[in-house]
Each structure stands twice: as C-alpha cells, then as structure tokens.
Structure 1
C-alpha cells in the first residue's frame, strides 16, 4: 500500500478522516507510524495529499488530510481483453489499474471457457476491490471504467466503435503480422485475446471495426505476461 485511499464514508468533519481496519493495520504494523507522523493519501476519484496521524486509540486511527496534488494523467490506452482465467483475473485487474489504464472491457471469446463467466470473481464489489488495490500500488485515485461483455458479436457490432472512440485500434495476435508499434503517445485501443489468440472469425470482426493486427514475437505468452509487456512496449509511460 503506497497510498492511503480514503473512501467518502470515512470522512468525519473538516480535514478529519477515520481509517478502516486494514489501513490501521498497515499504518501501525507495516509503516510503524505514530501520532504526528504523515504519509501519502488520496480520496477515491479525487485529489491527493498528505495524511497526518492525529490520534491512535486501540484499533482506531484518525488522520487530518490536506490536498497538495492531483493524480498522474491516465494512460491514453483503452483495453479490450478476452476474459482471463478466474485465478488470474484479480492479478490482471490490479496490474492494469496500476499501469494507469482507465477504460477496460472484459469480453467473451470462443476460447474463453463458459464457466469463467460464472465465477464469483466477477461480482462488482470484488472487481472494484482489486482495482482499488491497483490504485494503492501506483499512488493513483481514479478508478477505471470497467465493462463486462459476455456476448462477443453484439458488443463488437453494436457498441465497440463508440466505446473505442477516436485513435488507433491495435489487435495483438500471434501470426505473420507487423510488429507492435513502440512509444505511442496518442490514444490507443488495444485488444488482447485469450491464450493462443483470437479465432479467425473474431479477428475478422475486429478488423471490420478498424483494428489492425500486430504480432509481439513468436512466443505464446500468458495474458498476465503479455499485458504489461505490451503496454511497456507500446506506450510512453509517465
């Protein structure tokens, strides 16, 4: 936890906020802070600043929070991602959020096991929890916009063009395609398929929506490996 991420319900009055149990444990046991000490904090979807410990009483910690900055600009990258294995979904959401990606669609694919869409990990509160962890990691406060698209064809035909908006549209897929471009600063929508890539039918449908196929070498990577590697190659990270 590199940032105390304050929720609106934690606000008491004025500059005073009360930490939750997990934050209290981190401040007391990991950071070893005492009354008068300070650390970085921010308000969800708001500004950032310094939180000074005002009081520590048993398991209750109150801090005064003063704004002094705003979060880093978001990465100009939107992510269209075939729904990954449930065990890896949590880690991928944390990583995507910590990289600064603010617009994510989890979409179905022929190679995505139908059971993945039944996992409890897709509950909204659990998805939000993982994105909050990504914000704490990266010292950011702005939650990504997350969309679930369990039906590939209707989303691609009816919603994808509007969702992606202006900017380049790139599709990462194994095959004899041009190499993925480097150091982009413009808005980009990146489509990453399941392990083994999109089907030919899915590639064709995405190409109809303006996506250009690019390869990322000859190795077949796990999604959790491909995502940060692709973002590091493609984008000019702040």
Structure 2
C-alpha cells in the first residue's frame, strides 16, 4: 500500500479517523508515529498528504489524520478492456493489476468457453469489484477507479451495446493467438479520438463465431506471439505493449 485512500464521506473538516486495514498498515507496516506524513488520496478525487495526529498501536488499531489535498486526480487511461469473464480467483488478480496499470472501463462479457458457474460467484453476482480495484490503486499511487460494466450475454453486447460506443475508439484490437496482425499493425495511423479498446478472451480462446462478430464490428485480430498465455499474464503483456505504442505515437506528433 503506497497511498492511503478514502472516500470523501469519511473526511470531516480535513480530518479522518481510520480503524480498519489502513490503520493497521500505518501502524504495523509503515511503523509511523504522530507527526509523520503519509501519502493520501481521495477515491475518484485528488491526491496529497496526511499528517498523523494521533495513533493507537495496539489492536484495535486507530489512526487520526489531518488531510491536505493539492494534486488533481490522475488522468484517465486511454485504454479500455473487453474481458471474457475469467474464473473468480483470476478475476480478482486481473482487476487489481489493470487498476494499477490504468484502464478506463472494463466490460466483463460472456463467451462460449466461459463456465456459467463463474457468473454465480460472489464477486460477480454481488458486483464486489471495488476492493480489488482499490488494491491496485493503492499500489500505483492513483485515485481514479476503473468502471466495471457486466454483460451476461455475448450477442446483446456485440450486436446491440457495442455499436453505441464504437465511435469512442480509434483502434479496436482483438487479442487472438491466430490473429494475422501484430499489435502495431492493428493500430490506425491516426487515432482519433486517442482511445483503444482491447478484447481479451477466455483461457480456451474465442470461438470462430465470436471472432466473426468482432470482425464485423471493425476489430483487428492481433497476436503477440505463438505462445498462449493465461489471462492475467496476457492482460499485462498486451497493456504494456499498447501503452508503449501510444507513447511512441504521441512522441511522433
């Protein structure tokens, strides 16, 4: 945890008292004391610092902070994801990882090779995404929480929902082991607006029908090599390469 995050409702007159895992982290990991300064941020808000006013070192831990916010919220990521729902334990990892790396919106969708039991997991049925997203933000010293949108059926997503957001993106990339293009080839020469939508399938891959539907909507099937990666590894590898390509395009302008 590289930053302490809190919702605006928790703060009164620039002060906040913590008594949960954040207080425990300050006491046991940071080993801070009264007068010390810690990084502090408002969820979906600005960043700054907080001074420790009071602290209880024994369980139940308690820390009182004086908050000062002087930086704007981190900028929105130009990358959004379409993600075939992975198994719940992997979904938790992916949410944390992409939150740390930076994404705007995550569309969780059904795919032919997604087990229907995954949709019954508590993290999905209860939409308990926030703790895992915040874990990534705490690592990255960021405050902007990615949006998660759940689509339980494939065809309504790709045929009805997606056409309404198509114009938001300059490049549509479909991660597929048999994709005929590299990521670089999948980018349009002029990305306007400068946003990318990346679709990543289940561990068994997209079926032919799903690939056909993505192609009909203008996606370019791309590959980053012959090796088939686990979803959480693929997300990191693809996000990193896309971020580099966006940076290179920005420098060229």
Q: TM-score range by the shorter chain?
A: over 0.9
Asked whether the 8 Å contact 2:33–2:52 carries over to 1, the reply is: yes
Deviation at 1:109, TM superposition (A): 0.3
Ranges in structure 1 where 5+ consecutive residues have no aligned partner? none
Equivalent pair of 1:82/1:108 in contact (CA under 8 Å): yes
- Tell me the matched-pair count: 237
1:66 corresponds in structure 2 to: 68
Distance 2:129 2:163 in 1: 25
Which residue number in structure 2 is paired with residue 156 of structure 1?
A: 158
SS in 2 for 1:28: helix
What residue ranges of structure 2 are gaps of 5+ in the alignment? 248-253
Residue matched to 1:98: 100
Question: Which stretches of structure 1, 4 residues or longer, exceed 6 Å deviation after superposition?
Answer: none
Q: Is the 8 A contact 1:78 1:102 kept in 2?
A: yes
- How much is the aligned-residue C-alpha RMSD, in angstroms? 1.9
Alignment pair present for 1:7 and 2:24: no
**Secondary structure at 1:130 match in 2:** helix
> 1:225 maps to which residue?
233
Please say if residues 196 and 220 of structure 1, whose CA atoms lie closer than 8 Å, have aligned partners that are also in contact: no
TM-score by length of 2: 0.88
Q: Kindly indicate whether residue 180 of structure 2 is the aligned counterpart of residue 181 of structure 1.
A: no
Q: Look up the match of 1:25.
A: 24
**Matching of residue 34 in structure 1 with residue 33 in structure 2:** yes
Tell me the SS of whatever aligns to 2:129.
helix
Residue 71 of structure 1 contacts residue 139 of structure 1 at CA under 8 Å; is this kept in 2?
no
> Which residue pairs with 1:167 in the alignment?
170
Q: Shift of residue 60 of structure 1? A: 2.0
Structure 1 residues 185-235: Cα deviation after superposition (integer angstroms, max 9, x where no partner): 831000001113211100111111111111111111100110000111111
- Structure 1 residue 103: deviation in Å? 0.5
Whole-angstrom CA distance in 2 between matches of 1:125 and 1:85: 14
